[in-house]
Structure 1
Amino acid sequence: MPAEVRTWQRHPDRPFVRAENLIAGLDNPPDWLQHFTTDLAAKYSVGRACTMITSLGRLLTDGQPNLPQSVLERSRRPGRSMGSLARALESFFTSRGLAMATDQAERLAAGRRQRRVLAVPGPLRPSVEAFSDFMIRSRERSRRAGTLPRTDGTIEAALAIVRDLALFLTSERGEEDWALTDVHDLEAFLAGSPKARKRRLVVLGQFFRFARSRKIVLVDPARGLTARGPSGFTGTTLTLDQQRLLFRRWTTDPAVHPHETLLGMLVLLHGASSREVKLLQAVDLDFRARTARLGDRPHPVPLDPPSWAAVERSLAHREDQKTDNPHVMVTRQTKSGRGPASTAYVSHVLDACGFPPRMIRCTRLLDLVNTMDPKLVAAAFGMDPEATMIYLSDRIDETRLAEWAAAND
C-alpha cells in the first residue's frame, strides 16, 4: 500500500470529508449530521468513524424518514447488541434532546427472562412463564403507585431459582407436575445450597403463593418452612496479611489496571460497594478537599493519599479515552455514551487479585462495626442501623484483648 494512502487513512480530516460527500449526495441533509460527525471524530478512531458514517449514509438514503428517532430505531441491530452506530446515535440524540432513549435495556432483560423460562422442563414451564408475567405486571403497578418496584435483576434471580427447582423436581424427584410438590421436595432442594436457603425460601414462597392463587397447587408446600440458621454475619473475610498484600498491590504495581486499583482501594479502605464506585462521577469529586461523594452517604468521604492516587489514575485513564461520559470508571463500551459501567464488568474488575469486592467490603464493615458504635457506622455509610447489626461478632479478638491488657498493666 502506498505511503500516501496509509497517511490518508489515518488523517483526522477523513471523517469530515466523507460526511461532506454524504451531505452533497442528499437532497435534504439533516441539520445534525455535521455535529454528529464532529462527535464521532472526537470519540473514535479515524477508520471506525468513517465506517460508521458510511453505515449512516445507507440509512439516510433508504427512502425512510430521516427524523432522529426514526434513524435511531433503524440503526439498531437485531440481537443482544444494538451496534456501535446505534449506541453513538443514542448518546448524541439524547444528550441534545433530539430523540428518546431506546428500549435496549428492556429488550435485553426480556431476553434474559425468556432464556430462564425456556430452561424449565416442558410440563412445568407454563406456570413459570405465568409467574414471570405476574412479576412484570406487579412491577408496573408498583411504578404507578410510587412504591419500590422489582428490578430486572431481582426478577431474573427469582426465575433462576424457580428454574433450578423445576430441574431438580424432574431430574431428582421424578415429578412433572407442580401439584405433586411437597415440603420434603423443597427441603431436599434447599439442602443442596445451605447458604442460599434464605433467598431461595423467599422466592419459593412468592412462587407457590402465586401458584395457589391460580389453582396450580392446592396446598402451599413452602408455607411451613423457616429460614433456619444464624442471623449474624457468616461470610468469609480477609486476614490482615491478605489485606496488606492487596494494599501493596494497588499502591506499588503500575501494571495493575486503573479500574482495579480504584475499586480495590475504595472497597478496602472506605467500605465502598461496587455500585457506589461504578456510579461515581467526576462532579462528585472535590479536588481541593480531596473528598468523594459515594452513593447515598450523607457526607463526602475524605480520601487518603493512596485512595486519591487511585482516583487520579482512573481519571487519567478516562482522559486518554477522550470521552464525554461523566463517570470516573469508563470502559470501551461506555466511552461513547453517558451510562455507567455494566454490573458484569464491575463484578470482574478484581478477578486478577483473587478476591471479590463483597468479601473485601465485608472485611472492612466487620472491622468498623466491632471497633466503633454500629449506629455511627450506619450513619456514615447511609445504611439502616439494623443492616450493620449483622456484622457484630459474638467472639472476642484475643490479640486485641492481649494488647488492652498489656496497656493497662
Structure 2
Amino acid sequence: MKKIALLGFFITLLGCNQEYKYENKIKEDVIYLADDKLEGRETGSKGEQLAAAYIVERFKELGLQPKGTDGFYQSFSFKPKTDPHSEVAYTINPEDSTVTGTNVLAFIDNQAENTIIIGAHYDHLGYGSHGSLHRGEKEIHNGADDNASGVAVMLDLAAKLKQTNTSNNYLFMAFSGEEMGLLGSNYFTKNATMDLSKANYMINMDMVGRLKQDSTLAVYGVGTSPLWKQTLSSTNPGFKLIENESGVGPSDHTSFYLHDIPVLHFFTGQHDDYHRPGDDSEKLNYEGMNAISSYIFDVITDLDKSEKLAFTKTKNESEETPRFKVGLGVVPDYLYDGEGMRVDGVSEDKPAQKAGLQKGDVVIKLGDSTIVDMMSYMRALSVFTAGDSTQVVVKRNGETVEAVVQF
C-alpha cells in the first residue's frame, strides 16, 4: 500500500509539473499596457489602476503569491513636490492635494534563505505631465518603451522562473511613481513587505524595448558586487555591453542600492520618442526584448548556486555631475562609447536646432573645452548662462562642422 501511495504521489507531482507551460507574452503585455485606453498610466490615475489590475491578473495567471500589504497591492499617498530639491512627503491621511500610487508585488516562495528582487516601473506621463518633452496640444503619452517594455520583461522572467533556479525566492515588483521621483521603490524600501536583509540582489529594467541593430545594451550597477562583471561576461550571448559601475541612477534600482543591496539596471538607450506621444508599441524591438529577457535569465541561472552576493559601494557619479543653467536642447546618446558626445535627438526651437546640429552629430568641442565624454560635456556646459553664445564643433559623417550656439 505504501508503494502504491508513493507512486500515486509522484504521478500527481508529475501531472502538476506538466500543467505549467511557459508562454511568451511580452508583445501582448506591451500592447495592453501602452494602449490609449490606459491614458498614459499617470501615477494615481484611473489608467494606472487599470494597468495595476492587469499586472495582478498576469501574476495570478502565473500562479504567483501576493506580497503587498493588500493582496498584490501596496498603496502609498504623497503630496507632490513643489520644490524639486526637497524630499517627497508621504502621508497616512490622504487629502485633496495628495496623490495615491500603487506598487504591485508578487512572490515565488522556494523556501530559500534569500530573495532576488526583479522590478520595473509601470507608471508614465499620462497626457504629458512630469517631464514631457512634447510641445503642442495635449496628447496621450503611452510609454511603450518607458516602461511597458520593462514590465513585460519582468513578467516574462516570472514565467521563466516559475519552476527553475530554486535556490532563491523571487519578489517581482511593478513600481508606481517612478516618473515623479522613484517614489514607489523608495516607499517600498522604507516599508518593505519582506526582510530586506534577506535580499540577495535586485534587477531593474527600464526602457529595454528599443535595442539597436548593433545590439548595444547598457548595464548599470556592475560595481555593486564583485561577481557582476564576470557573470555578465560569461553569459553574454553577443550584446555590445556598455557597463556603468555606479549603483545610483535615474531609475528604481537606486532605492535598493541605497539599502546596501547589489543591483543591476538594464537599458537600451534613449530615442526621439522619449517622453513624447510617439512612444508606441509598434515601434519596439520585440526580438531584442526576448533576447534581453533570456540574457537576464542566464545571469540568474549562472548565480543560482552561488552564495549571497557581496555588496560593494560605488562612486556616486551624480554627486560629481556639474550643475548647469542652460542646455543645448539635445538628447545625448548614452550608449555611445566613442570619443565625444553623440546627439541622439534634437529638440525643436532650442539652441542646438537653431545652430544647425543634427541627430548623429558628435560634439567634440564646446567653447574652449574639448569634449571626450558625457562628463566633460556637462562640465563644459556648466560655465554658460542664458544669453551667452559660443562655438560648437561636431563630427558629422567623418567631417568637422563648426557652428555658433546661442543659449
Q: TM-score, normalised by structure 1?
A: 0.23
Structure with larger RCO (C-alpha < 8 A, sep 6+) = 2
Q: TM-score, normalised by structure 2?
A: 0.23
Would you tell me which structure has more strand in proportion to its own residues?
2
Tell me which structure has the larger Cα radius of gyration.
1
Would you tell me which structure has more helix in proportion to its own residues?
1
